[in-house]
Amino acid sequence: MEDNVMKRLFILAAIVVAVSMTLGCGKKQQTAPGEKKTILFAELLQETNSFSPVLTTERDFKAESLLFGEEIIPYSLKEKRELAGFLKAVHSLGNGRIELVPLVKARSMSGGPVERALYERIKKTIVDGVRKQKKVDGIYLSMHGAMGVQGIRDPEGDLLEAVRAAVGKDVPIGVSFDLHANNTAKRAKNADFIVGYKTNPHRDHFDTGYRCGSILIKAALGEVKPVMTVTKMRLLKGGGMNIDFISPFRKIFKRMKAMEKDPAVLDMSFFPVHIWLDDPELGYSTVAVTDGDKTLAKKLAEEIADMAWAVREVPHPKGSTPEEGIEIARK
């Protein structure tokens, strides 16, 4: 009799567990109290003029920042750029549940293509750092998005592909880019989400890092599931067209801000690139990141793309001649 009772209790317990697991399927798996998540981060940021014969070297990076490991965090906090914003997000939203692993901070002024050997060394440091970790719950990469390297057409895409191969398909990778980034198929395939500056002249480096970090932390903790749509256009316009607070782009950024009021929308970005890249994929792009709603992401990215496409009809502003510029400067 006692054996039958125990057997029934065991069967009942098994049913309860099975039902609980079934009900949990498809839901975000939130982090248990006390469980820490490990997030790796790195920066590789330089804007390239493909047509410059002068290479960007290690000396150029050291002039701004070329740091490794534990020296990255104190330096970044003083700098108030993307990594500082990311670290602020960790502090504000992580609630002590995030363990950080800094890998590389490499940042240079704009210039010619980066030396291949230097890029490969930085890439190896990042990828090896990922592989050495027994547990990785998220990766943040701060990059420009318009960098060139000797012999490599899409270095940011190349790095993302290598990091994805090292970490696997299930770990979220968040990327922040400059507004002038050139999004490619390789980047869209290997990043879980991409966010970009919303200002030009750029005034939101810190905010961009914070936004990217916020999404990544929430994803690592199981609070959101970011999905992304990247819409690409064969469109280029020169300088003077992509100021965020004047026509014709002001209405685009205003519309994106309105879209982000929807709690399901994690981020909206528009990338009007820069025209000095020698790349067959060069062109405008829009990115929509939502919380698990791929259909909504596609709809919003395409709406902003339609608004951006209409800019092709807007004439370029008339510039001054060198002589006129000198006269203006003298006044």
Evaluate whether 237 touches 165 at the Cβ level (below 8 Å). Answer: no
Evaluate whether 272 touches 233 at the Cβ level (below 8 Å). Answer: no
Beta strands in 226-308 (DSSP E): 226-232, 265-271, 285-291
Q: How far apart are CA 17 and CA 240, in angstroms?
A: 62
Confidence (pTM) = 0.86
State the pLDDT at residue 313: 83
State the pLDDT at residue 307: 96
Give the DSSP H/E element, type plus range, for residue 195. Answer: strand 193-196
Q: How far apart are CA 174 and CA 66, in angstroms?
A: 21
State the pLDDT at residue 169: 96
The SS3 call for residue 193 is strand
Dump pLDDT digits (tens) for 67-119.
999 999 999 999 999 999 999 999 999 989 999 999 999 999 999 999 999 99
State the pLDDT at residue 31: 56
Dump pLDDT digits (tens) for 30-68.
555 668 999 999 999 999 999 999 999 999 999 999 999
Q: Phi and psi of 228, rounded to 5°? A: -140, 145
Task: Extract the residue ranges of the chain whose pLDDT is less than 70.
Answer: 1-34, 239-240
**Which residues have C-beta within 8 Å of that of residue 109, sequence separation ≥ 6?**
46, 60, 63, 64
Half-sphere exposure (CA, 13 Å, Cβ side) for 98?
A: 28
